[in-house]
Amino acid sequence: MTDPHSDLRLAAEGGAPVRAARLPYGRQQIDDEDIAAVVGALRGDWLTTGPAVEAFERALQPVTGAPHVVAVSNGTTALHAMLAAAGIGPGDEVIVPAMTFVATANAALYCGAKPVIVDVDPATLLIDPAAVAAAVGPSTKAVIGVDYGGQPADHDALRAITDRHGLRLFADGCHALGATDHGRRVGSLADATTFSFHPVKHIATGEGGAIATADAALAGRMRRLRNHGLSQTAAERERAGTFRYEMAEWGHNFRLTDLQCALGASQLRKLEANLARRRALADRYARLLAGVDGVEPLAVRPGVEHAWHLYVVRLPRDRWAVDRDELHRLLMAEGIGANVHYLPVHLHTFHQAQGARVGQCPVAEAAYAELLTLPLHHGMSDNDQDDVIAALLKLRAARGR
């Protein structure tokens, strides 16, 4: 059998691909313990709003470094509930980075507020504190720092700005469960921090999210908002032996089920192992990519313990004979499921229609043209990673400058 690594012709041009089956950029890992946990919930009395939800929230407290954790249906509703509970509303502005998933900005829109999109640091692609300071205006009520790729934003620098102007500091930590900044856990660095348990994240509940905070009043309001604004949950009424409840305020159905929380609690017991594997793979990428010209990993801030949700590299345009889109196509043909994170928020059609303009975040725009996310998940083997490097070397030989 021909070794695909010995065939230097690109798969898109008739050569043998590095991999016959595509390696995904991210993927969940579910084992028998996880399945048993869900089956146990299925056989119990509560499928939703029951004891598994409270147990999952308690288990997340030490991981996030926060005394209050509120589980919700996904990372997007976590952002929405966080802003709504803080009183963000029509006429308010919320500063967000250009380099993030659209949900960060959408959360402000859900509350009737305006997202103000600012540029990022060129080395890390994290929100640029100087850009935040320049964007603060009379309608600004909050800043959301995004822990892009799994690396904590510089929340200390952001805190100095928000404290000076009397603003709320929030964190979108949906990439960063288990990360730390100088020993402090993501979840304790801002007034409140959101997390996601989507299948490509560090732990999976199918869909799911949570908000961590030290603010008991904020947590209490988020609990009401996730349950239609009701004064009591079904479990609380059961314990109290009453049927009465009141809709104290307008809320939503952002509830996470007991089935998902049972899975989440089981997955959470593997978090440290998952993080260790992701960090080992990231270290190995750094070593292997040192020998691949034209592929540059992002910088890591000093004192940070990265969670490595994503492994993002830049492909400098002057080192390649074709653009990033073509390199992505060629990698996919080799069986490498590369991705791109993200089209800057202000370049999406919706935001362009709302007045965003090309050129307002030049760092993010320049980075986007060169970005590629390489496969990285805790189920990957060293051989999988070797295939990624082999494919990049093939591309380098065929399309490099």
> What is the predicted pLDDT for the residue at 4?
53
For residue 23, is it within any domain? Answer: no
Instruction: Report the CATH number that the domain containing residue 284 is assigned in CATH.
Output: 3.90.1150.10
Same domain? For 158 and 53 the reply is yes
> What is the predicted pLDDT for the residue at 345?
98
What amino acid occupies position 321?
A
Which of 268, 285, 300 delimits the end of a domain?
268
Same domain? For 292 and 234 the reply is no
Starting at the earlier edge strand, list the strands of the sheet with 114-118: 68-72, 209-213, 192-196, 168-172, 140-146, 93-97, 114-118
pLDDT digits (tens, 9 = 90+) for 164-218: 999 999 999 999 999 999 999 999 999 999 999 999 999 999 999 999 999 999 9
Same domain? For 370 and 221 the reply is no
- Catalytic residue IDs: 201
Mean pLDDT of 111-124: 98
- The beta-strand segments (E) located in 253-393 are 296-297, 304-305, 311-314, 371-374
What percent of the chain has pLDDT above 90? 93
Domain holding 47, by residue range, is: 32-268
On the question of pLDDT at 291 being above 70, the answer is yes
Which of 209, 237, 268 delimits the end of a domain?
268
> What is the predicted pLDDT for the residue at 240?
85
pLDDT digits (tens, 9 = 90+) for 313-369: 999 999 999 999 999 999 999 999 999 999 999 999 999 999 999 999 999 999 999
Instruction: Report the CATH number that the domain containing residue 244 is assigned in CATH.
Output: 3.40.640.10
> What is the predicted pLDDT for the residue at 243?
85
Same domain? For 85 and 203 the reply is yes
What percent of the chain has pLDDT above 70? 98
Read off the pTM.
Answer: 0.95
The first and second tokens of residue 360, run together, are 């307002």
How would you class 219 by CB atoms within 10 Å of its CB: exposed for 0-12, middle for 13-18, buried for 19 or more?
Answer: buried
Q: How far apart are CA 62 and CA 270, in angstroms?
A: 14
Apex 268 CA angle, 43 and 235, nearest 5: 45
Q: How far apart are CA 71 and CA 360, in angstroms?
A: 36
Q: How big is the chain, counted in residues? A: 401
Same domain? For 89 and 181 the reply is yes
pLDDT digits (tens, 9 = 90+) for 10-27: 999 999 999 999 999 999
Q: How far apart are CA 78 and CA 83, in angstroms?
A: 9
> What is the predicted pLDDT for the residue at 2?
43
Which of 268, 285, 312 delimits the end of a domain?
268
Same domain? For 63 and 197 the reply is yes
For residue 134, is it within any domain? Answer: yes
For residue 101, is it within any domain? Answer: yes
Same domain? For 217 and 313 the reply is no
Mean pLDDT of 49-76: 98
For residue 107, is it within any domain? Answer: yes
Three-class DSSP category at 339:
strand
Same domain? For 174 and 297 the reply is no
pLDDT digits (tens, 9 = 90+) for 358-393: 999 999 999 999 999 999 999 999 999 999 999 999
Which is more confident, 190 or 243? 190
The first and second tokens of residue 2, run together, are 């021909």
Mean pLDDT of 265-279: 98
Same domain? For 75 and 159 the reply is yes
Same domain? For 354 and 259 the reply is no
Q: State the total domains in the chain.
A: 2
